A and B are shown apart, each in its own frame.
Chain A
Amino acid sequence: MTSSADITISDVSLRYGKGAKTVLALDGISLDVKPNEFAVIVGPSGCGKSSLLYLIAGLEDLTGGRITVGGQGIEGPGPDRGMVFQSYTLFPWLTVAQNVEYGPRRRGLGEAERKALVDHYLEEVGLASFRNHYPAQLSGGMKQRVAIARALANDPAVLLMDEPFGALDSQTRHTMQRLLLRVWDHSHKTVLFVTHDIEEAILLADRVFVMSGRPGQIRKVLTVDFPRPRVGDIVLDPAFIAMKREIMGLLRSEDDDH
């Protein structure tokens, strides 16, 4: 029913700016995400996590290397790669339902089809009763739920998420994590998710990619094989804590290097 693709990133580098002010954000980074996989990237601030997602989304042009999604090279942005941003990016002039409908409308879907998609995805994120609200009338968590519904309504082959819950309080964040896992369980999209929160990373991920400081490279890949669904008190599991400690160690030694 839904599409899902792999992501390959080989030896990719990205340099911002020219001349003396140039910044090397990524330096020969390589990683692969399998179809249907939930992959999470953690790394120190400024190591190039957002940059990597922008490259996959086609919002930046890479300096070197190659990225493919479903075997296709990246040529600019497109609806096959959905993205949820850390900042709120709902269109303020559209209602919740119209925001979700935006992508399908751009793709030229008919009204009945669009309505079915809107109904389905608003139901998925639990906001069916807010369909006629404007974004300004929603809380931060609700806005990000609409943003997820909006991205999924386009049936993208991959879903890129850049710290989507970073601005939320921890209670809302937990609710959002459970909601995202449930939605992912239904759609089984390939997800590449960036976060600062190690617990969030382990809770969500099939695999966690730990990045080194700028210029970013992959420092370690950890496979998370806790059974799903992962319920609340899994965070107290000794294996969970051990993994958390390992990632913290990796990130901390990063700090010491600088």
Chain B
Amino acid sequence: MSDKSAFSAALVPYRPISAGLSVTLGVLVWALVLGGWMYLANGNHVPAMFLPDPGKVLATAGKLAMDGSLWSNTIASAQVVLIGFVVSSVVAVPLGLYMGTYRAVQAALDPLVNFIRYLPVTSFVPLFILWIGIGLEERVAVIVFGTFFQQLVMIADAARSVPRDLVNAAYTLGTKRSTTVRHIVFPSTLPAVLDVLRVTVGWAWTYLVVAELVAAKSGLGYMSLKAMRGFQVDIIFLAIAMIGILGLITDQGFRLLRRVIAPWAI
């Protein structure tokens, strides 16, 4: 009977489902994907040159973990993402909050930001290489350029949608106009800001790989590019899987952070 009700709950829009069912469904989809992969790779449906067997990828992971190159490349990439993302966020969060709160800041920045925002980051990679060379700074610049303007616009939107009467109530309780961003806009938008960070850190990874494919001497993107030249498709798969795993960890990290520092928001 409880099985039946668990099943029927899953058919109701927005109705929460049990933790057990939730885990089962997630595992099931993973199993399907991995199963499909094994089927394609083992049954000679796709040549091994293009699609390695999952076991082969695991074995390669073990080998590269032993010789340390997997870790050094992963750390190299993660480091660039972290620096680029932090530099971008530290400026974008406060500036975005002021942009969404003060019409003058918005009027000043909107035209420029919306122009730059639609330029593909990739088109700036040659320029950055010319200006800053192919060191760490260049890859950091690509990430900052790729994430900053998106963060700015999304955080400004969050600040703009703070209910006007919430701010009015704060005024009638003695909040000064000059401290409205600190006392009201910032705490009120905190859950939304954390969501913006969670989404944009994923984009930071995308831009990183782009930057590493073009110019780098270490990192997961560089590892993939080198593997492509040597037809080592298992290493390419490994690099992709590492990025995915790091993405999953970051995502869960941000979700946890949100629950810890913004427990009021559901």
- B-binding residues in A (CB < 8 A): 54, 57-59, 76-79, 81-83, 85, 87, 89, 91-94, 102-103, 106-107, 134-136, 147, 150-151, 154, 156, 160
Q: Given A85-B168, A134-B264, check contact A91 B175 (CB 8 Å).
A: no
What's the least CB distance linking A3 to chain B, in Å? Answer: 14
Q: Given A81-B172, A150-B173, A154-B173, check contact A89 B165 (CB 8 Å).
A: yes
Chain B 155-176 interface 0/1 with A at a Cβ cutoff of 8 Å (1 = within): 0000000010110111111110
Q: Given A85-B165, A89-B165, check contact A107 B172 (CB 8 Å).
A: no
Count of A-B contacts judged by CB separation below 8 Å: 73
Given contacts A89-B163, A93-B187, 19 further A-B pairs with CB under 8 A are: A59-B171, A77-B172, A79-B174, A82-B173, A85-B165, A87-B165, A89-B166, A89-B168, A91-B166, A92-B265, A93-B190, A93-B262, A93-B265, A102-B170, A106-B175, A134-B264, A136-B264, A147-B169, A154-B173
CA distance A156 to B228 in the complex (A): 72
Main secondary structure on chain B at its contact with chain A?
Answer: helix
CA distance A154 to B170 in the complex (A): 12
Would you call B188 and A106 a contact (CB within 8 A)? Answer: no
Nearest CB in chain A to that of B169: its residue: A89
Would you call B188 and A92 a contact (CB within 8 A)? Answer: yes
Report if B266 contacts A (CB, 8 A). yes
Would you call B168 and A83 a contact (CB within 8 A)? Answer: yes
Closest 7 interchain pairs by CB? A79-B174, A77-B171, A89-B169, A106-B174, A103-B173, A134-B264, A83-B172
Interface centre among B169, B171, B264, B266 (most CB of A within 10 A): B169
Instruction: Note all chain A residues with C-beta closer than 8 A to B163.
Output: 87, 89
Main secondary structure on chain A at its contact with chain B?
Answer: loop
Q: Given A85-B165, A87-B163, A134-B264, check contact A93 B188 (CB 8 Å).
A: yes
Chain B 169-200 interface 0/1 with A at a Cβ cutoff of 8 Å (1 = within): 11111110100000110011010000000000
CA distance A245 to B165 in the complex (A): 34
Would you call A103 and B174 a contact (CB within 8 A)? Answer: yes
What's the least CB distance linking A99 to chain B, in Å? Answer: 9
Instruction: Note all chain B residues with C-beta closer than 8 A to A151.
Output: 172-173
Instruction: Note all chain B residues with C-beta closer than 8 A to A87.
Output: 163, 165
What's the least CB distance linking A138 to chain B, in Å? Answer: 12
Interface centre among B163, B173, B184, B265 (most CB of A within 10 A): B173
CA distance A83 to B183 in the complex (A): 18
Would you call B266 and A79 a contact (CB within 8 A)? Answer: no
